[in-house]
Amino acid sequence: MDLTLYGPSTITNEQDVNAHGLALSPNRVFICGFTEVDIPMAGTPFDNTRSSTDAFVAVFNRALDTLIYATYLG
Protein backbone atom coordinates (compact mmCIF):
# COMPACT_ATOMS: atom_id res chain seq x y z
CA MET A 1 0.00 0.00 0.00
CA ASP A 2 1.32 3.45 -0.86
CA LEU A 3 0.95 6.22 1.67
CA THR A 4 -0.12 9.04 -0.62
CA LEU A 5 -2.70 11.79 -0.41
CA TYR A 6 -5.95 10.63 -1.99
CA GLY A 7 -8.33 13.21 -0.58
CA PRO A 8 -9.06 15.48 2.37
CA SER A 9 -9.79 12.74 4.90
CA THR A 10 -7.77 9.72 3.82
CA ILE A 11 -4.09 9.29 3.06
CA THR A 12 -4.25 5.82 1.55
CA ASN A 13 -6.65 3.97 -0.66
CA GLU A 14 -7.74 1.99 2.43
CA GLN A 15 -11.04 2.99 4.05
CA ASP A 16 -9.83 2.64 7.65
CA VAL A 17 -7.20 5.40 7.61
CA ASN A 18 -8.46 8.86 8.48
CA ALA A 19 -6.47 12.07 8.71
CA HIS A 20 -7.62 14.47 11.42
CA GLY A 21 -4.86 17.06 11.36
CA LEU A 22 -2.73 18.78 8.74
CA ALA A 23 0.12 21.24 9.21
CA LEU A 24 2.41 22.86 6.66
CA SER A 25 5.95 24.15 6.93
CA PRO A 26 8.05 25.61 4.11
CA ASN A 27 9.35 22.14 3.13
CA ARG A 28 7.06 19.61 4.81
CA VAL A 29 3.45 18.45 5.12
CA PHE A 30 2.52 16.89 8.49
CA ILE A 31 -0.52 14.63 8.77
CA CYS A 32 -1.94 12.94 11.86
CA GLY A 33 -4.92 10.71 12.33
CA PHE A 34 -6.10 7.21 13.16
CA THR A 35 -5.75 3.89 11.34
CA GLU A 36 -7.12 0.37 11.65
CA VAL A 37 -4.85 -0.96 8.87
CA ASP A 38 -1.08 -1.09 8.42
CA ILE A 39 0.55 1.96 6.89
CA PRO A 40 4.14 2.21 5.62
CA MET A 41 6.73 3.36 8.15
CA ALA A 42 9.56 5.72 7.23
CA GLY A 43 12.50 7.29 9.01
CA THR A 44 13.04 5.92 12.52
CA PRO A 45 9.51 5.24 13.81
CA PHE A 46 8.72 5.78 17.48
CA ASP A 47 6.38 2.77 17.24
CA ASN A 48 6.23 0.56 14.13
CA THR A 49 3.73 -2.01 15.46
CA ARG A 50 0.04 -1.31 14.94
CA SER A 51 -2.53 -2.64 17.37
CA SER A 52 -6.31 -2.49 16.89
CA THR A 53 -6.67 1.25 16.23
CA ASP A 54 -3.64 3.51 16.44
CA ALA A 55 -2.90 7.16 15.99
CA PHE A 56 -0.25 7.97 13.41
CA VAL A 57 1.92 10.85 12.29
CA ALA A 58 3.25 11.08 8.73
CA VAL A 59 5.55 13.68 7.20
CA PHE A 60 5.80 14.28 3.44
CA ASN A 61 7.83 16.68 1.35
CA ARG A 62 5.83 19.64 -0.03
CA ALA A 63 5.43 17.93 -3.41
CA LEU A 64 3.70 15.04 -1.57
CA ASP A 65 5.71 12.47 -3.51
CA THR A 66 8.12 11.39 -0.73
CA LEU A 67 7.19 9.96 2.65
CA ILE A 68 9.91 11.23 4.99
CA TYR A 69 8.69 9.96 8.35
CA ALA A 70 5.78 7.89 9.65
CA THR A 71 5.05 6.31 13.02
CA TYR A 72 2.21 4.89 15.07
CA LEU A 73 1.40 6.48 18.42
CA GLY A 74 -0.32 4.02 20.69
- Answer yes or no: pTM beyond 0.85: no
Confidence of residue 38 (pLDDT cuts 50, 70, 90): confident
Separation CA 74–CA 8 (nearest Å): 23
**Interval 22-35: pLDDT, tens:** 899 999 999 998 88
The mean pLDDT value of the chain amounts to: 77
Q: How many CA atoms lie within 13 A of 34 on its CB side?
A: 4
